Structure 1
Amino acid sequence: MVIRSRPSLAGQLLAIQVVVILLVLVTVAALSLAQSAATFNRVEGRRVVALAEQLATNPLVRNQLDGPTSGEALATHVQTVRTQAGVTSVTIADAAGRVLSSTNPILVRTRLPLGDARVAQGRGWSGELEVDGGTELAAQVPVIGATAPNLGRVLGTVMIGETMPTLWQRLRGASSYLAIYLGVASFIGLLGSWLLARRIKRQTFGMEPREIAGLAEHREAMLYGIAEGVIALDPHHRVTLVNEVARTLLDLPGECVGKSLGELGIEGRLRDVLLASDSGPDTRDEVVLRRGRVLIMNRMEVTKDGTRLGSVTTLRDRTELAERERELGSFRSSTELLRAQAHEFANQLHTISGLIQIGEYDEVVRYVDALKDHRHSLDLTVTRRVSDTAIAALLMAKSAQAAERRVELRISERTSLQRLDPHDAADVATVVGNLIDNAVDATGESTTGAWVEVQLRQDASSVEVVVQDSGPGVAPELAREVFSHGFTTKAAKAGERGIGLALTRRVCKRRGGEITVTNTADGAMFTARMSVGQPAGHAGTANVAAGEAR
């Protein structure tokens, strides 16, 4: 089976343009012929009418028709007019319509064909007339008697005709330069068609229509078949392409293509990531919080032949993964706490073992009593001020972990926390644990005297957590960034500050509260507030949308 190849896009365009040009040329030629015919009818019509009137008013013709008719005498006048005027035919008929003399011998003694019946009644007429198998532009004028007794009577009819030109004759007569005009127009049209085809070919990168259609189908299938979001921007920061996943993740309206980022209300961190390469290299694995979602974004600039065409950014939703990481972090933290306690107990056992080996049995007793008093004192300090066992256990474990890193964890004397609902206790523990971890990280760089102080205060409907440290504090320009960008902030990169703070802020927002940071004379102080005493997921419902929309 022979497969015929389809013509290329350039060939199709050229063929279409050639057909259009031919149609235009045929139309122009037809109009030219029509104009030539109209000009011939107008000019020659006036001339034959004037000649017919002139012959009809000739006294010799009147006398011949008024008296005894002599065909030879009329023939002389007929030939003279035909020769002098250069017309095709000259015919004279009597009052009965019988041809007496004509330059066409066939018409002699036949009836004169009339273009209008009123010609026999003395009315003149001009127009196209079929004569002896041909078409002539004829004028028929009555000969009126001028003397008695035939004064005013129709004595006969004079007809003068001019053969209608053929199609070729009219085409030649339309314009002596018509062929040149048509040739030049054809050449220009074909050249323009060829240039247009080449331009379109370049703009489509040499692809044929079926290839472009296939590419569009594949693009749609790819964009709407992958689980990641894709958004493309042009150099003017307008959205040129977005799939359904990206529209959902970024909470964009349905008609967002063609609108700028400003018109879509995209500001802050998200705008900075989408436009990152305007002032730097392509971005990789940037974390952005958008309406309660943790998004991982990768942005790549698109260029063609050195011209910047825009950018393409892919998005992945890592909200659930971030939650799992937080849970894993809790297990990891518990493991670290157990390891720290095991290390502490091992050191204590080694000390006791050494004292026994050297025979200092009384010193062993005093050492064990001191350890017991210290543990009992710590337990009483925590449990007396914190009645919730989960939070108390967390504080004691964090104290051991901080001690291993040579950081003193203090419980403020103003601390007072009653037993909480298990759902409330879980969220409060998340906030307390993250804030203590960040504070220990900040103060751990100090060689001596590092401390972290925790204060928990509770009223009828809320809990306030205040964690203060002796670290270097937070730069004012980064005070809000540590909550907005989480572990991708500049602060986090510079000193591992802000880990988990973005999720901590989400917990506070979900419970209708807020978290802030201020610098004191000693270091940084984080203050978190959240409502308690309501079912999880219900607390602060009125403020959830507003809090997560930021």
Structure 2
Amino acid sequence: MRLHSKLMLLIVILILLIGGIFEITFKNILEMNMKKEIGSKALAVAESVANMPQIEEAFYEDDPASIIQPIAERIRKQVGAEFIVIGNRDEVRYSHPNPVRLGQKMVGGDNGHVFKGESVISESVGTLGPSLRGKAPIFSKGEVVGVVSVGYLQTDIEKEISTIQKKIFTDTFLILIGGLMVAFLITLNIKKALFGLEPKEIAWMYQEKHAILESIHEGIIAIDTDGRITVVNENAHKILRVPNEVLLRGKRIDEVLENTHLLAVVATGQAEYDKEIMIFGEVYLANRIPIFNKKSDVIGAVASLRSKSELAKLMQELTHVKAYAEGLRAQTHEYSNRLYTLLGLIQLGSYKEAIDFISKEVDVAQGFIQFLMKEVPDPIIAAFVLGKFSLASELKVDFTIDRESSFKDVPNEIDRDHLVTIIGNLINNAFEAVRENGKAEKRVMLFLTDLGKELIIEVEDNGRGIESEDNEHIFQEGFTTKKRNSNSGIGLSLVQNAINQLGGSITFSSNPGEGTIFTVAIPKSKGK
């Protein structure tokens, strides 16, 4: 059974139950009140009749019934009682609605307390049937000489209760119909609010949403229109430096984190992408998106937070991969050209020249590789420089590494990715610079040394140099003086970021039209 059907059935049962309980309770209360009211009325009439002087005096006449009967009947008709029976100490009737029963003994057996001088309300069965009676003693000269019994039949009381109960039942039925209509509207609205989903589906979606939020690497924070947090995942807790057991949901966002701009997004309904935000001294990139309902009203906003340093590291890794790929491609292309040259010499029968060509290439390659293996034993850095050497051959750039270079004492704690980023981007910039200098000779030289307490990386080129007005901007992300590559303006900013991570420094010297030298100093141990 679907949710709205269950709700409809439960509400109907609840209404029927409430209606039934109301009907029974009201009937009991009504019956009790009516009996109390009629009993009090009967007793009041009985006491009034018992106190009438004519009734008391009639007890001393030869025929009391002839005096008492007319008085009792007149009063009975006036108060609407079923009977007013007056009897003496021997319970002989002096009045009765049925004259035939005059002179007969009273029935019911409920006069004991009355002859003791007490007025009572009782229920008993008389000659006219079950009745509710009010009984009062008749006093004469301080003695009880008789009894007045005023009664109303139970059947008449039940008829009156039944009449009222029918009206109550009609009203209850109308309430039931109204309740059913309300129940239908409630279930319809609940179904609409839940988008027709069943509880199991909602529970599954909640678990799925929780799993998705926790699997996302970014920190996720969502708020409602009042600025109160509605969703926050584990990574957001880490970013905010708040333990997971601390409940953030329900708190105002400005109490937890300032300058989120989420409230502004809620107010304007405009999304904001890749905006920088500082949290505990670390820069994060924030995407802020408004949340809309079906009516296109803003009902909240959600923000995703991603560490900018992580993005920079990812970019560096992609740069490394690209550099490795370019190096391998260049090396493949270069050796393909040499193989074609060798093939041509063999086809021409120039075997001696072919042997000399092979020997020369082997000597050059082996010499360079042996130098790298000896002076730059780190395989990652050596392989990367070798790849750049092959790329330079393809680009027709004279790329050399200073024979005085030595990079043997590189501490293990220094991140090789940062070193590759620094060396690779400086060399790439140098290649671009010499290709645009318009000179026939295109030279780039790399110098590496680990002497002393610092690692020194120096890249020199004979490119067109850097204009003095650009000196302050070259390390800014996006700034470039090149036209050749639309992706320029990133390399030197990555170099600067990597150097900052290693606690180093970078300087440069440039002569416009002659070339540039970049010098990087990285401490082998931070703090020394």
**Alignment TM class, shorter chain as reference:** 0.5 to 0.7
From 147, 157, 160, the equivalent of 1:169 is 160
**CA RMSD after TM alignment:** 6.2
For 1:180-219, what per-residue CA distance to the aligned partner results, in whole angstroms no more than 9, with x for missing partners?
6445534432322222222222223334x3xx41464367
The correspondence for 1:513, drawn from 490, 503, 517, is: 503
Per the TM alignment, residue 64 of structure 1 is displaced from its structure 2 partner at its CA by 3.2
Residue deviations 1:13-65 (CA, integer Å, cap 9, x gap): 33333333334434544565456446534553443233212221223321233
Task: Specify the alignment match of 2:51 in structure 1.
Answer: 57
Which residue number in structure 2 is paired with residue 420 of structure 1? 409
* CA distance 1:454–1:160, shift in 2 (3 Å): same
- Per-residue CA deviations over 1:66-119 (Å, capped at 9, x if unaligned) read 455644543333333323332111112223445454336679644554658542
Deviation at 1:267, TM superposition (A): 9.0
- Determine whether 1:335 maps to 2:336: no
Specify every segment of 5 or more residues in structure 2 that has no aligned partner in the other structure, as ranges: 261-268, 343-349, 351-359
Q: 2: distance between equivalents of 1:321 and 1:23?
A: 66
The size of the alignment, in residue pairs, is: 464
**TM-score with structure 2 setting the length:** 0.61
Displacement of 1:160: 0.8
Q: Percent identity?
A: 16
AA matched with 1:335: L
1:369-388 Cα deviation digits (max 9, x unpaired): xx9xxx9xx99xx99xx965
How far is the alpha carbon of 1:152 from its aligned partner? 0.9
Pick the aligned partner of 1:202 from 175, 192, 195: 192
Please report the TM-score for the alignment, with normalisation by the length of structure 1: 0.59
**SS of the residue aligned with 2:131?**
strand
Deviations 1:313-338 (A, max 9, x none): 899x9999989867755654553674
Q: 1:143 aligned to 2:138?
A: yes
The equivalent of 2:200 in structure 1 is 213
> Offset of 1:120 from its aligned partner?
1.9
> 1:16 matched to which residue of 2?
10
- Could you tell me which residue of structure 2 aligns to residue 229 of structure 1? 216
Question: Secondary structure in 1 aligned to 2:115?
Answer: helix
Contact 1:10 1:197 in 2 (8 A): yes
User: Given the alignment, which residue of 490, 498, 501 partners 1:498?
Assistant: 490
Summarize the Cα distance change of 1:152–1:265 in structure 2 as closer, same or farther, 3 Å threshold. closer
Q: Distance in 2 between matches of 1:251 and 1:95?
A: 98
Q: Taking structure 1 as reference, are residues 330 and 171 closer, same or farther at Cα in structure 2, changes over 3 Å only?
A: same
Residues of 1 paired with 2:109 and 2:509: CA distance?
Answer: 119
Q: Are residue 77 (structure 1) and residue 64 (structure 2) matched?
A: no
Cα separation, 2, equivalents of 1:502 and 1:238: 38
Alpha carbons of structure 1 residues 446 and 252: separation in structure 2 relative to 1, 3 Å: farther
Match of 1:485 in 2: none
Aligned to 2:347: none
- 2:481 aligned with 1:479, yes or no? no
The DSSP-based 3-state class of the residue aligned with 1:121 is coil
Q: What's the CA shift for 1:476?
A: 4.9
- Report the Cα distance in structure 2 between the residues aligned to 1:420 and 1:262, rounded to whole angstroms: 50
Deviations 1:457-483 (A, max 9, x none): 75754435466873686995982689x
| Structure 2 counterpart of 1:192, from 182, 189, 202 | 182
Q: Distance in 1 between matches of 2:294 and 2:509?
A: 51
Offset of residue 143 of structure 1: 0.8
Query: Structure 1 residues 79-88 or 65-74, which shifts more?
Result: 65-74
User: 8 Å contact 2:84–2:96 — kept in the other structure?
Assistant: yes
**Which residue of structure 2 aligns with residue 434 of structure 1?**
424
What SS class does the counterpart of residue 425 from structure 2 fall into?
helix
* 1:463 pairs with 2:455: yes
Q: Structure 1 counterpart of 2:328, which letter?
A: T
CA distance in 2, matches of 1:463, 1:228: 40
Supply the distance in 2 between the matched residues of 1:136 and 1:518 (Cα, whole angstroms).
Answer: 120
State which of 433, 436, 461 in structure 2 corresponds to 1:443. 433
